[in-house]
A = this chain, B = another copy of it.
């Protein structure tokens, strides 16, 4: 029997696993400088894009797990980056809102992507674009069942 399919080096999943961990690791230092973890940074990016959204919308935008989101938001609220208030129209929902401090962090955060881009020497911008397109296709294929 042929087991090429079980060769680690032929596995897309393992490439993604390594690439995802690698880039998360690369973000760790720059993000630590502004006191954010990676998922917290993703939440901030979502809120800088659109503020005053429900937790469900935040989950939708970020693809972060709901169970994790509760914990992440709690820590971010402790750091006074945002506040969470009940939606008066639908009391099941809770609205997430950036604080002044949370909004201000955007300026410092803008440095983070630049620092990351500096790390790329073998890959050019066109290839990164192509890579993102391919990743979108993969995510799309895996989305529905």
Q: Which residues of A contact B (CB under 8 A)?
A: 1, 3, 5-8, 11-27, 38, 42, 45-46, 48-49, 61-63, 106-107, 109-110, 113-114, 116, 119-123, 127-128, 130-132, 134-143, 145
* Cα A48 to Cα B120 with chains together (Å): 34
Q: How many copies does the complex hold?
A: 2
Report yes or no: B127 in contact with A141, Cβ–Cβ below 8 A: no
Report yes or no: B132 in contact with A12, Cβ–Cβ below 8 A: yes
Report yes or no: B8 in contact with A62, Cβ–Cβ below 8 A: yes
- Inter-chain contacts of A131 with B (CB < 8 A): 12, 15, 131, 134-135, 138
Residue of B nearest to A5 (CB): B113
- Inter-chain contacts of A6 with B (CB < 8 A): 45, 48-49, 106, 109-110, 113
Residue of B nearest to A39 (CB): B17
* Cα A49 to Cα B42 with chains together (Å): 37
